[in-house]
């Protein structure tokens, strides 16, 4: 241990950790950020948000070239997928962005330490470098931002070749002919979509009776129908009991959840996408007296403090929505607390987007949650089939649904399926953050012809009456 102690050592360089480190440095603290990966950016940049969105984009273009252009009068020959080039493009995007964070660290004076971090004491982090050396960082505070890893199923061991987690499914060397996906959540639908567009026959096995648990039920039902029409086959209320190898090919043994005859599904690859679990291995939490909860999350109070003074935690490792922007918000808030200010995360306004086509976007409470809480609400709904811009691009599937509190008209939630709804949702999130009513949104002039007008019309429908439907 040498020199002045750091004010803050952040363990984990994902969207929670790196944002926390940069913000704390901007606010005048002396900061180090430890991550074991070669590239900064954590799960999100290396094996999550960014590579998956690159493949979603490339596969969308491929599908457009195959089936989507002729209806606009644009004729092209049969496109050819050069998967190696697609993967090279994806890698370049990831590399550029991870290098970008290293640049931001230098610009803001954050010390980047590569290696495995262990919190030896509240004022000491030991780092084992890739070369096997140990470096000790003295510090006043520690933030745990070690994120999450894919959850696994005991009877389906992942080898990241033919039985893969999301990490392997971002890197298939060739398009599997038949892909079996376990879990119809974010990853199952996004990566299932990618490989279907590239030519795989995709079957999604989901334990529950619905897809996208946690999101609005009406949204999930519509997406089930639309993705089914695109060629994803769903087996709801089923689980994969085992995956066996027969004559060099895989066979999944799929059982109805509530009993009944099993069936065998032949496939070339299996993607296990049944959620993610918090990651704290090797951090030394037990020795410090920090007990994780039953699901492995690090418990924190409203200021992100663990039970050990000087040690805080943020991001996927503390639970809540496992989303990059939620981790970033918490990183900002912690940095502000530690620099003597007042951090704040508005957990009622965390948008969520599923980047299929059409996209799904959501913010605030669902109808199910409002009903369960006994909160009376009105629904304003507007279909994209009645939006002029959506008609020009022939993307008319879906709707915007705004939920406003009966009596006060305050917007409590918004759920969308449709083109670019991952962008449209932010207008409603911003409005909600300011406590807006549906009338407030409806009375704001929206440019024409845009998809944004569908948001205004849904707000009009919640407050009074829509014009165009
Ligand atoms: P992480 O990003 O997991 O970062 C933690 C980092 O800490 C990792 O780099 C890890 O190696 C490092 N680490 C752990 N332990 C140690 C240790 N002891 N020493 C040193 N380093 C350590 N979210 C979205 O909002 N939008 C999306 O579109 C989206 N797409 C996704 C797609 C996929 C395929 C996946 C898997 C996830 C996606 N997510 C998305 C979720 C998002 O990636 C996570 O919510 C986010 O990365 C969590 O950030 P974090 O900082 O908490 O942790
Ligand atoms: P998920 O929680 O979204 O979905 C997992 C699905 O698997 C659920 O529908 C669950 O019911 C099902 N399931 C669980 N056990 C099962 C079993 N034994 N058999 C069949 N089905 C089973 O998890 P995910 O898709 O793995 O993604 C992990 C997290 O990563 C997401 O929750 C999300 O927070 C984040 N993520 C976000 C994005 C995005 O923001 N666009 C994209 C990808 C991942």
Question: Is residue 2 one of the residues assigned to a domain?
Answer: no
Residues 289 and 146 occupy one common structural domain: yes
Q: Tell which of 274, 295, 321 closes a domain.
A: 274
- Domain assignment present for residue 156? The answer is no
Overall average pLDDT of the 347-361 stretch: 98
Asked if the structure places residue 31 within a domain, the reply is yes
181 lines ligand 2 (CB under 6 A): no
- Compute the distance between CA of residue 226 and CA of residue 237 in angstroms, rounded to an integer: 19
CA angle 177, 175, 233 (to 5 degrees): 50
CATH code at 431? 3.30.390.30
Tokens at 90, concatenated: 């994806």
CA separation, residue 32 to residues 2, 132, 187, 351 (Å): 14, 19, 32, 30
Q: What is the mean pLDDT of the chain?
A: 97
Beta bridge partners of 269: 179
Same domain, yes or no, for 221 and 93?
A: no
The residue range of the domain holding 319 is 8-150+277-338
Residue 277: beta bridge partners?
149
Looking at the predicted structure, is the pLDDT value of residue 196 above 60? yes
* Secondary structure of residue 114 in the 3-state scheme: strand
Rounded to an integer, the average pLDDT of 271-296 is 98
What pLDDT does 154 receive? 94
Kindly report the protein residue whose alpha carbon is nearest to atom 47 of ligand 1.
44
Task: Say whether both 392 and 329 belong to one domain.
Answer: no
Same domain, 200 and 296: no
pLDDT tens for 83-127 read: 999 999 999 999 999 999 999 999 999 999 999 999 999 999 999
Q: Among all residues, which ones are annotated catalytic?
A: 448
Q: Is the pLDDT of residue 248 over 90?
A: no
pLDDT of residue 3: 67
Last residue of a domain, one of 308, 338, 368: 338
Binding site membership of 238 for ligand 2 (Cβ less than 6 Å): no
Using alpha carbons, select from 68, 17, 358 the residue that is nearest to residue 219. 358
Alpha-carbon distance 227 to 347, whole Å? 30
Looking at the predicted structure, is the pLDDT value of residue 275 above 60?
yes
pLDDT band for position 249 (cuts 50, 70, 90):
confident
Of the three residues 274, 294, 310, the one that is the final residue of a domain is 274
326 and 269 part of one domain? no
Q: Output the CA 45–ligand 1 centroid distance in Å.
A: 8
125 in the same domain as 24: yes
Is 117 within the bounds of a domain?
yes
Instruction: Kindly state whether residues 357 and 267 are assigned to the same domain.
Output: no
Whether the CB-CB separation of 198 and 62 falls below 8 Å is answered with yes
* Whether 356 and 313 share a structural domain: no
Q: Kindly state the tokens that stand for 236.
A: 């709801």
Q: Are residues 303 and 437 in the same domain?
A: no
* Least confidently predicted of 83-87, 245-249, 446-450, 457-461: 245-249
Residue with the smallest CA separation from ligand 2 atom 40 is 353
pTM over cut 0.85: yes
- Assigned domain for 155 exists: no
436 falls in which pLDDT band (50, 70, 90)?
very high
The 3-state secondary structure of 44-55, one letter per residue: HHHHCHHHHHHH
**Rounded percentage of the chain residues whose pLDDT exceeds 70:** 99
Closest-approaching ligand to the CA atom of 126: 1
User: Would you place residue 174 in the very low, low, confident or very high pLDDT band (cuts 50, 70, 90)?
Assistant: very high
| Residue 421: pLDDT over 60 | yes
Whether residue 173 lies inside any domain: the answer is: yes
The pLDDT, as a whole number, for residue 2 is 54
Residue 182 domain flag: yes
Please give the number of the atom of ligand 2 that sits closest to the Cα of 150.
26
DSSP 391-435: HHTT----EEEEEEETTT-BEEEEEEEETTHHHHHHHHHHHHHTT
What are the tens digits of pLDDT across the range 371-387? 999 999 999 999 999 99
Domain count, the chain: 3
Q: Give the per-residue pLDDT at 246.
A: 86
pLDDT in tens, 3-30: 679 999 999 999 999 999 999 999 999 9
Q: Are 55 and 117 in the same domain?
A: yes
Distance of CA 158 to the CA centre of its chain: 21
What is the per-residue pLDDT across 41-84, written as a single tens digit (0 to 9) for each?
999 999 999 999 999 999 999 999 999 999 999 999 999 999 99
pLDDT over threshold 90, residue 227: yes
Q: How far is ligand 1, taken at its centre, from the CA of residue 392, in Å?
A: 38
Q: Is 49 exposed, middle or buried (0-12, 13-18, 19+ CB in 10 A)?
A: buried
Q: Which residues line ligand 1 (CB under 6 A)?
A: 11-17, 34-37, 42-44, 48-49, 52, 116-117, 145-148, 166, 187, 279, 282-283, 315-316, 322-325, 327
SS3 for 326? Answer: helix
- Across the range 176-187, mean pLDDT stands at 98
Q: Decide if 126 is inside a domain.
A: yes
pLDDT of the residue at 1: 55
Whether 234 and 332 map to the same domain: the answer is no
Work out the end-to-end distance of the chain between its first and last CA atoms, rounded to an integer number of angstroms: 69
Instruction: Please report, for the domain that includes residue 206, its CATH number.
Output: 3.50.50.60
* Cβ atoms of residues 457 and 386 within 8 Å: yes
SS (H, E, C) 195-210: HHHCCCEEEEEECCCC
187 and 301 assigned to the same domain? no
């Amino acid at each position: 241990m040498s020199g002045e102690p750091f004010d803050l050592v952040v363990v984990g360089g994902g969207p929670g950790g790196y944002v926390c480190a940069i913000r704390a440095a901007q606010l005048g603290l002396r900061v180090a950020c430890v991550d074991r990966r070669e590239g900064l950016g954590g799960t999100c940049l290396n094996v999550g948000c960014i590579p998956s969105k690159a493949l979603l984009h490339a596969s969308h273009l491929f599908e457009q070239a195959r089936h989507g252009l002729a209806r606009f009068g644009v004729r092209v020959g049969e496109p050819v997928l050069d998967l190696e080039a697609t993967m090279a493009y994806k890698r370049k995007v990831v590399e550029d962005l991870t290098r970008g964070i290293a640049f931001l660290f230098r610009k803001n004076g954050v010390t980047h330490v590569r290696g495995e971090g262990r919190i030896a004491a509240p004022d000491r982090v030991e780092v084992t470098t890739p070369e096997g050396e140990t470096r000790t960082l003295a510090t006043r505070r520690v933030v745990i931002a070690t994120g999450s890893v894919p959850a696994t199923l005991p009877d389906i061991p992942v080898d990241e070749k033919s039985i893969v987690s999301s990490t392997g499914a971002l890197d298939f060397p060739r398009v599997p002919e038949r892909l079996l996906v376990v879990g119809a959540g974010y990853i199952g639908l996004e990566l299932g979509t990618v490989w279907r567009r590239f030519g795989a026959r995709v079957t999604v096995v989901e334990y529950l009776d619905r897809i996208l648990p946690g999101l609005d039920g009406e949204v999930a039902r519509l997406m089930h129908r639309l993705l089914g029409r695109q060629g994803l086959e769903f087996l709801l209320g089923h689980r994969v009991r085992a995956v066996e190898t027969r004559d060099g090919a895989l066979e999944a043994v799929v059982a109805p959840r509530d009993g009944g005859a099993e069936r065998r599904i032949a496939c070339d690859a299996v993607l296990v996408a049944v959620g993610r679990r918090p990651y704290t291995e090797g951090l030394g939490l037990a020795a410090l007296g920090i007990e994780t909860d039953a699901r492995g999350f690090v418990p924190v109070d409203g200021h992100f403090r663990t039970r050990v003074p000087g040690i805080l935690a943020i991001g996927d490792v503390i639970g809540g929505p496992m989303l990059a922007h939620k981790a970033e918000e918490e990183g900002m808030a912690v940095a502000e607390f530690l620099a003597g200010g007042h951090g704040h995360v508005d957990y009622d306004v965390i948008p969520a987007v599923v980047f299929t086509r059409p996209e799904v976007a959501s913010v605030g409470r669902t109808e199910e949650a409002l009903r369960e809480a006994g909160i009376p609400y009105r629904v304003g709904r507007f279909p994209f089939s009645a939006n002029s811009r959506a008609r020009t691009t022939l993307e008319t599937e879906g709707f915007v649904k705004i939920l406003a509190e009966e009596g006060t008209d305050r917007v409590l939630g918004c759920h969308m399926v449709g083109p670019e709804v991952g962008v449209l949702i932010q207008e409603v999130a911003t409005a909600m953050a300011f406590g807006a009513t549906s009338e407030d949104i409806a009375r704001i002039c929206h440019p024409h012809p845009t998809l944004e007008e569908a948001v205004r019309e849904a707000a009009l429908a919640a407050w009074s009456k829509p014009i165009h439907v």
